[in-house]
A and B are shown apart, each in its own frame.
Chain A
Amino acid sequence: TIGLQVSSGLQDLSLRDRGGRRRDFHDLGVNTRQAMVHVQESKTGFSGRMIKLTTNHFRLTSRPQWALYQYHVGYSPEMEARRLRSALLFQHEEHIGKTHAFDGSILFLPKKLENKVTELFSRTRNGEDVKITVTLTNELPPTSPTCLQFYNIIFRRLLKMLNLQQIGRNYYNPGDPVSIPNHRLMVWLGFTSSILQYEENIMLCADVSHKVLRGETVLDTMHSLHSQVGEERFRDACAKELIGLIVLTKYNNRTYRIDDIDWDNNPKGTFRKSDGSEMSFVEYYKKQYNIEISDWMQPVLISQMKRKRGNIQGPVALIPELCSLTGLTDRMRSDFNMMKDLAIHTRLPPEQRQREIGRLLNYIQKDDNVQKELRNWGLSFDYKSVSFTGRVVQGEKIFQSGNMFDYNPQFADWTKETRGVPLIRAVPMDSWLLIYTRRNYDVANTLLQSLFKVAPSMGIRMNKPNMIEVDDRTEAYLRVLQQRVTPDTNIVVCILSSSRKDKYDAIKKYLCTDCPIPSQCVLARTLSKPQTIMTVATKIALQMNCKMGGELWSVEIPLKQVMIVGIDCYHDTVSGKQSIAGFVASLNQTVTRWFSRCVVQSRGQELVDGIKACLQTALRNWSKWNKCLPSRIFVYRDGVGDGQLNTLVNYEVPQFLDCLKSIGTDYSPRLTVVVVKKRVGARFFAEMGGGLKNPPPGTVVDTVVTRPEWYDFFIVSQTVKNGCVAPTHYNVVYDTSQLKPDHVQRLTYKLCHMYYNWSGIIRVPAPCQYAHKLAFLVGQSIHREPNLMLSDRLYYL
């Protein structure tokens, strides 16, 4: 039988992920389109104007009648060791040929052996005679899933031959690193690659990838943390900063995840070697790698290996001094200056990006060994990337209180157009609090004056707030909240003097759970520049209005009685304990009001049960608002990882259906479930004026680079200032709407206009972004489900 599973040994050749379970990263074999009759013939849309696009896909070509031959290899007597099995088999290269891939039991050859069963005889070192039986089990056509996995394995071999370094799943060129000494960072340029069956061809999708490495060891980081936070908070700070990070070791080419820090251990401590003997770390590294550990007082890092490697099983101890950090921490990500410096190197504009990808293809084309390997397998690539036409759908009209606006499609932003125009629904601020520290008294007044200037034109009625001065301590803020917030309070505004997370978390936690009142935190720094204060005040006024249940603008939604749902997940990587699903569902016809809930789940529990409950309450609320149940439901599901599609289709979608059934026997709305994916390898470039540019917002791609077994499409909805725009991938996995693909695409694009924290088009449908925001707030700051009193407002914006 042709299984999806190439035995684990062969996969070892390629996908060496961090000890986790092996996943089918490309979601091969999940065929959802076949169940949807209305898209059997065609899944393409039609509206919009044509645009010439180039992409980062390259056709894989094989010689005619190409096939891959799969053999089973047996030994008599049975041989255990994989190396021995290989050595014995390859004594017969004259029979099987020089080109082969063998994992110890399955052998792949580009040629068919003369007989179905071939018997070979070898002799071991010990003079033992062994009979090897090579049996043909399969002739694989180029499109079979096994074959596709095989291509990927071969391609990774090629990258290795090009002397690229494997880190995690991708390959990087260590020869020409970019160093950013200001932040002790180093960036390696590399490539992600995958070979898949696309609409008509098997293609290689190659993209540039950047690996951020850090020129410091874990011990260095510990030292600087110690000098920053001092003795008392040192261990906590280390845990916060380091746990979850991936490290590289000085002595082998493996990556490990830091799962814990063992403060009671140090390099003088001992561990049990595979032969059972005890040895100290100091001794071991000296003996094995000639490495002298200089600091004998450092703690030991613990990495839980999920997969058995050789004889080592269970946790692995690592010495901080010998580990280098990779990637960015949350703290670094929130460092604006650092991200700006990084972006210069990692945000490549279209032409440069395509040039870098071209460089990889060029290496492949020019390297004799690589070409020989490809030839031996009978494979080659089209070294010119695939070109085709996409469509740019028309821009949406923005409606705001009887006014209608167009936006400049180049910027995909209507901040200017809607400035000074009354909002659809402006919530008055009759009773509100403004809390600040003494140091920020002036700033608080500036904010207040500016708000009074901008609010009237938006239609927001605003009374003078209760101005309250507090000490710059968390408890002081909380005490004021406890004493001064009343049930009539519309909103609480806090001016914070630093972005210290604990203060923010405490305020949010209190006002989202114990005392459900919308709140707005503002950093004093943001208000300190006179030239931007009006812009900032406008933004804050809009944001506060949304938090109190206001509505800003709308687009035309032609479907009636429709409920739109967005779901996204947040996984707490630091403590690793919780997963949070944000769930957001529209409440009205204009899709301007939302019902928001979230599910907090501890590790090991399935999120889906909670989501089912959310859907039930969402339907109840929708019917309260509209006096009937929705006849159509659209679910935009974000936060589905690579390789999780199968679970979603087979487990989550049936749960949605179950939930709808439970509402009533005569209730059967049309349901559409769309999986939204932001992290995709595909990039599109518009061919304009002889050069390559980012495609404009509204670009839809539903041919050539989509997958034949799916009802899927790409939309480029946002614009970017630097670098390449990333298309968002939409995969309609379930659909009884009977809508044409064009209409589903258009609805999706419309929803990207509806995120109220940004007066422009965003990357995903608004409900996904709302769900993300909610899940993030709960995961980062609140850690439990917020009070349901707030659920009809966008309090988490």
Chain B
Amino acid sequence: MDKNFQEEFTQIIKFKPPLYKQRHQFVKDLVEKYKPKKVADLGCADCSLLRMLKFCSCIEVLAGLDICENVMKEKMHTLSPLPVDYLQPSERSLTITLHHGSVAHKDPCMLGFDLVTCIELIEHLEEPELKKFPEVVFGFMAPSIVVISTPNSEFNPLLPGVMSYRHPDHKFEWNQAQFQSWALETARCYDYSVEFTGVGQPPTGMEKAGFCTQIGVFVRKYPQTGESVQSEKPTEAVYKTVFKAVYPSLKDEKYLQNAVISEVIFAAQIIKHRLMSKHEEYGDDPERKSKFQPSVDCFSDYLGKLVGEKNMEPFVSGNEVYIPLATIFSFPKVNRLCGTFEKLCKLIAGKVTLSSDGSAVMFNIEHENEDN
């Protein structure tokens, strides 16, 4: 290649979006496609990939592993649940754990994963570690899918300022043939199939250089039987857990109960409010009934339908208002949360004031003022 041409060329190569984003997007697309429940990122560094993956709704377990504890710790708190996650717990459960340790060591906490990603990891491994790596990841962890990305050294001459390796910590950078032969051999050895792709398109006319980042996607050929896995695996833990976050989830009875109680009382309040305002001043003033705009309504129309049915009608008796649970149960949100009427009754038992026969939510209105 003509040197001048090359230099001119290096000016132009700038990936958009940046290459690391493209690698993350690649993983994300893969997650969308295969919907893994348990995902581990080996060499997770500052956890930026994990931070992105936590928004993927199929994932219930996320784990990160890195040899450098400090780099993980720097931003690990960004993996904690947000205040809103507590306020509106999600349907799915999610646990995020960070481990400090080496990919050359086996630890049972890495078992049972569906997807293991090794993004820009292997080129940081010393010779002996690289040797143990396939046995640990493919032999021991043995997830359904493994993604490995690494720099393609054939692309280096196109990058500005790259003399030998792209990063001072890189122990090697492979060309396409080197990576592929290593990958094929590994796949063969552990019964995986492998497909090659990459991110960072080479410029037109330079296609032979290949992707800037080369990627191998390994898929295990045979589903593993649970028992055979356990028998031959050592169970001694060698990684150190540096972070663990359990996200609030409706699968957890505590959060489900809180959510149900909150929705039940909210629904009951709305019905009560409507009932009371009908009784009082607004009732005789037709102008006050507004023309609801469809997108903002949903509730009121719905309530209109409900009141038609007889035994579901709320009523006032003395200083008390009764709102039948059956009415409340037919609210979509309550219904979705509980599933069955029995479950609803069970969850609110003792937490919400009910009528003596337990069929209705009861409010005392004696001390309430008319306006609020």
Contact with A along B33-62 (1 / 0, CB 8 A): 000000000000000000000011100000
- B305 close to A (CB within 8 Å): no
On whether the beta carbons of B163 and A230 are closer than 8 Å, the reply is no
On whether the beta carbons of B77 and A215 are closer than 8 Å, the reply is no
A165 CA to B82 CA in the complex, in Å? 8
- B359 close to A (CB within 8 Å): no
On whether the beta carbons of B296 and A525 are closer than 8 Å, the reply is no
On whether the beta carbons of B258 and A127 are closer than 8 Å, the reply is no
- A415 close to B (CB within 8 Å): no
A215 CA to B264 CA in the complex, in Å? 13
On whether the beta carbons of A184 and B262 are closer than 8 Å, the reply is yes
On whether the beta carbons of A174 and B81 are closer than 8 Å, the reply is yes
On whether the beta carbons of A498 and B370 are closer than 8 Å, the reply is yes
Which residues of the other chain, B, contact A61 by a CB distance below 8 angstroms? none
Which residues of the other chain, B, contact A224 by a CB distance below 8 angstroms? 270
Interface residues of B in 222-272 (CB under 8 A from A): 258, 261-262, 264-266, 269-270
Which residues of the other chain, B, contact A188 by a CB distance below 8 angstroms? 83
On whether the beta carbons of B84 and A231 are closer than 8 Å, the reply is no
A319 CA to B56 CA in the complex, in Å? 20
A275 CA to B14 CA in the complex, in Å? 14
Contact with B along A190-221 (1 / 0, CB 8 A): 00000000000000000000000111010000
B66 to chain A, nearest CB (A): 15
**A165-B83, A181-B266, A232-B290 known; A127+B161 contact, CB < 8 A:** yes
B97 to chain A, nearest CB (A): 14
Which residues of the other chain, B, contact A324 by a CB distance below 8 angstroms? 83-84, 87-88
Interface residues of B in 142-173 (CB under 8 A from A): 160-164, 166-168
- A222 close to B (CB within 8 Å): yes
Which residues of the other chain, A, contact B372 by a CB distance below 8 angstroms? 335, 337
On whether the beta carbons of B83 and A290 are closer than 8 Å, the reply is no
- B369 close to A (CB within 8 Å): yes
**A232-B290, A290-B55 known; A223+B299 contact, CB < 8 A:** yes
- B207 close to A (CB within 8 Å): no
On whether the beta carbons of B262 and A249 are closer than 8 Å, the reply is no
Interface residues of A in 250-302 (CB under 8 A from B): 250-253, 275, 288-291, 295, 297-298
On whether the beta carbons of A230 and B368 are closer than 8 Å, the reply is no
Which residues of the other chain, A, contact B84 by a CB distance below 8 angstroms? 248-250, 324
* Nearest CB in chain A to that of B243: its residue: A163
- A186 close to B (CB within 8 Å): yes
- B295 close to A (CB within 8 Å): yes
Q: Which of B77, B86, B295, B371 contacts A174 (CB 8 A)?
A: B86
A252 CA to B55 CA in the complex, in Å? 11
Which residues of the other chain, B, contact A298 by a CB distance below 8 angstroms? 295
On whether the beta carbons of B290 and A231 are closer than 8 Å, the reply is yes
On whether the beta carbons of B161 and A128 are closer than 8 Å, the reply is yes
On whether the beta carbons of A248 and B161 are closer than 8 Å, the reply is no
Contact with A along B55-78 (1 / 0, CB 8 A): 111000000000000100000011
- A160 close to B (CB within 8 Å): yes
A224 CA to B298 CA in the complex, in Å? 11
B167 to chain A, nearest CB (A): 5
- B300 close to A (CB within 8 Å): yes
- B208 close to A (CB within 8 Å): no
On whether the beta carbons of B262 and A181 are closer than 8 Å, the reply is yes
Which residues of the other chain, A, contact B55 by a CB distance below 8 angstroms? 251, 288-291
Chain A CB within 10 A, most for which of B84, B167, B258, B290: B84
**A174-B81, A184-B262, A231-B292 known; A126+B162 contact, CB < 8 A:** yes
Which residues of the other chain, A, contact B258 by a CB distance below 8 angstroms? 179, 181
Interface residues of A in 335-360 (CB under 8 A from B): 335-337
On whether the beta carbons of A337 and B367 are closer than 8 Å, the reply is yes
- B3 close to A (CB within 8 Å): no
**A213-B87, A226-B297, A252-B82 known; A125+B371 contact, CB < 8 A:** no
B298 to chain A, nearest CB (A): 7
Which residues of the other chain, A, contact B300 by a CB distance below 8 angstroms? 227
Which residues of the other chain, B, contact A499 by a CB distance below 8 angstroms? 369, 371
Q: How many residues of B contact A (CB 8 A)?
A: 51
On whether the beta carbons of A125 and B166 are closer than 8 Å, the reply is yes
A395 CA to B145 CA in the complex, in Å? 79
- B311 close to A (CB within 8 Å): no
Which residues of the other chain, B, contact A160 by a CB distance below 8 angstroms? 77
**A165-B83, A230-B288 known; A215+B88 contact, CB < 8 A:** yes
Which residues of the other chain, B, contact A90 by a CB distance below 8 angstroms? 70
A224 CA to B290 CA in the complex, in Å? 13
Which residues of the other chain, B, contact A295 by a CB distance below 8 angstroms? 295
B355 to chain A, nearest CB (A): 17
A247 to chain B, nearest CB (A): 10
Which residues of the other chain, B, contact A336 by a CB distance below 8 angstroms? 369
- B356 close to A (CB within 8 Å): no
Interface residues of A in 81-117 (CB under 8 A from B): 90, 98
A564 CA to B6 CA in the complex, in Å? 83
- A620 close to B (CB within 8 Å): no
**A126-B161, A231-B293 known; A181+B265 contact, CB < 8 A:** yes
B62 to chain A, nearest CB (A): 14
A228 CA to B273 CA in the complex, in Å? 9
On whether the beta carbons of A177 and B299 are closer than 8 Å, the reply is no
A710 CA to B161 CA in the complex, in Å? 59
Contact with A along B351-372 (1 / 0, CB 8 A): 0100000000000000111111
On whether the beta carbons of A181 and B261 are closer than 8 Å, the reply is yes
* Nearest CB in chain B to that of A91: its residue: B168
On whether the beta carbons of A222 and B296 are closer than 8 Å, the reply is yes
On whether the beta carbons of B265 and A297 are closer than 8 Å, the reply is no
* Nearest CB in chain A to that of B78: its residue: A253
Q: Which of B78, B261, B299, B370 contacts A525 (CB 8 A)?
A: B370
Which residues of the other chain, B, contact A123 by a CB distance below 8 angstroms? 168
A90 CA to B74 CA in the complex, in Å? 12
Which residues of the other chain, B, contact A228 by a CB distance below 8 angstroms? 273
- A305 close to B (CB within 8 Å): no
Which residues of the other chain, B, contact A127 by a CB distance below 8 angstroms? 161-164, 168
- A500 close to B (CB within 8 Å): yes
Q: Which of A172, A290, A500 contacts B371 (CB 8 A)?
A: A500
B77 to chain A, nearest CB (A): 6
- B188 close to A (CB within 8 Å): no
Which residues of the other chain, A, contact B293 by a CB distance below 8 angstroms? 226, 231
- A60 close to B (CB within 8 Å): no
On whether the beta carbons of A179 and B262 are closer than 8 Å, the reply is yes
* Nearest CB in chain A to that of B294: its residue: A297
Q: Which of A125, A163, A174, A222 contacts B83 (CB 8 A)?
A: A174
- A182 close to B (CB within 8 Å): yes
On whether the beta carbons of B369 and A226 are closer than 8 Å, the reply is no
B278 to chain A, nearest CB (A): 13
A126 CA to B258 CA in the complex, in Å? 53
Which residues of the other chain, B, contact A500 by a CB distance below 8 angstroms? 371
- B80 close to A (CB within 8 Å): yes
* Nearest CB in chain B to that of A217: its residue: B88
A500 CA to B261 CA in the complex, in Å? 31
Which residues of the other chain, B, contact A250 by a CB distance below 8 angstroms? 82, 84, 88
A785 to chain B, nearest CB (A): 30
Interface residues of B in 193-215 (CB under 8 A from A): none
* Nearest CB in chain B to that of A126: its residue: B161
A-B contact pairs, 26 of them (CB 8 A): A98-B70, A125-B167, A126-B161, A127-B164, A127-B168, A163-B80, A179-B261, A181-B258, A181-B261, A188-B83, A215-B88, A223-B298, A226-B296, A227-B292, A229-B290, A230-B290, A231-B290, A232-B290, A251-B55, A289-B55, A291-B55, A295-B295, A297-B296, A337-B367, A337-B372, A500-B371
Listed in ascending order, the chain A residues whose CB lies under 8 Å from chain B are 90, 98, 123, 125-128, 160, 163, 165, 167, 172, 174, 177, 179, 181-182, 184, 186, 188, 213-215, 217, 222-224, 226-232, 234, 248-253, 275, 288-291, 295, 297-298, 324, 335-337, 498-500, 525
Known pairs A125-B166, A217-B88, A231-B290 / 8 extra A-B pairs, C-beta < 8 Å: A98-B70, A163-B77, A181-B265, A181-B352, A227-B270, A234-B296, A248-B84, A250-B82
5 tightest CB-CB pairs across the interface, nearest first?
A230-B290, A297-B295, A126-B161, A181-B265, A290-B55
